[in-house]
A and B are shown apart, each in its own frame.
Chain A
Amino acid sequence: KNEVEQSPQNLTAQEGEFITINCSYSVGISALHWLQQHPGGGIVSLFMLSSGKKKHGRLIATINIQEKHSSLHITASHPRDSAVYICAATPQGAQKLVFGQGTRLTINP
């Protein structure tokens, strides 16, 4: 079993829909990251969080440390949000990242 699990693996939605991607992890962590990878391959860090909730524009990330679960929400989704979203954990005492398998999001106009 992977230390970081994401669901769903693939998600297709219509423009304007509210999107939720889930991430569960089995190790103690010092930080949880959400990354975005566009079709060209480049990776962008969206959020790094260790508790509570963070918001940036239409993106919201939450984490529940007790339940070892994080969610990434996208409000008013747009075709340009189409990308692979990757959850990654920083295990306690380390600075490397352990990655989930990614969620491929497609937003249709």
Chain B
Amino acid sequence: DSGVTQTPKHLITATGQRVTLRCSPRSGDLSVYWYQQSLDQGLQFLIQYYNGEERAKGNILERFSAQQFPDLHSELNLSSLELGDSALYFCASSVGPPSRDLSSYNEQFFGPGTRLTVL
């Protein structure tokens, strides 16, 4: 158990709908990362938050958005869902902070994932 929790575990919805995925980081971790794992594209970085602020963006679609709340949990919102959005969505956390000082990098701990199926 990594200490990172994600809900729900499974989500089945229809095209055009909107869903919210939730992540609670490990106690004490300030950074949250979202990743998407699809069959055809593998694991891809979506977005990172540190202490409530967006710090880095990856291959995140405009239909997707995220935020990190004062209690440090994070939500990933996916809207106007398409069949191709079906994937495993992972959240990871680390102590942080993001820094140019390479020695301050911290290991990431992954949550169990949310499996999204869009029908």
Partner of B105, one of A30, A42, A99: A30
Check A66 for interface membership: any CB of B closer than 8 A.
no
Distance of A85 Cα from B9 Cα, bound (Å)? 22
Distance of A101 Cα from B106 Cα, bound (Å)? 23
Check A86 for interface membership: any CB of B closer than 8 A.
yes
The A24-66 residues at the B interface (CB cut-off 8 A) are 30-31, 33, 35, 41-45, 48, 50
| B contact face: mostly helix, strand, loop, or mixed | strand
Report the minimal beta-carbon distance from B103 to chain A, rounded to whole angstroms.
Answer: 9
Are B113 and A48 in contact, with the CB atoms below 8 A? no
Tell me whether A95 and B48 are in contact in the complex, defined as CB-CB below 8 angstroms, given that A30-B102, A41-B88 are known contacts: yes
Are A31 and B105 in contact, with the CB atoms below 8 A? yes
Are B105 and A95 in contact, with the CB atoms below 8 A? yes
Are B109 and A45 in contact, with the CB atoms below 8 A? yes
Distance of A95 Cα from B105 Cα, bound (Å)? 7
Q: Could you name 12 residue pairs across A and B whose Cβ atoms are closer than 8 Å?
A: A31-B105, A41-B112, A45-B107, A45-B110, A88-B43, A95-B33, A96-B58, A97-B35, A97-B43, A99-B42, A100-B42, A102-B42
B interface list, Cβ under 8 A from A: 2, 31, 33, 35, 42-45, 48, 55-56, 58, 88, 90, 94, 96, 98, 100, 102, 105-110, 112-113, 115
Known: A95-B33, A96-B58, A102-B43. 15 other contacts (CB 8 A): A41-B112, A41-B113, A42-B110, A42-B113, A43-B113, A44-B2, A48-B107, A93-B100, A95-B31, A95-B105, A96-B45, A96-B56, A97-B108, A99-B42, A102-B42
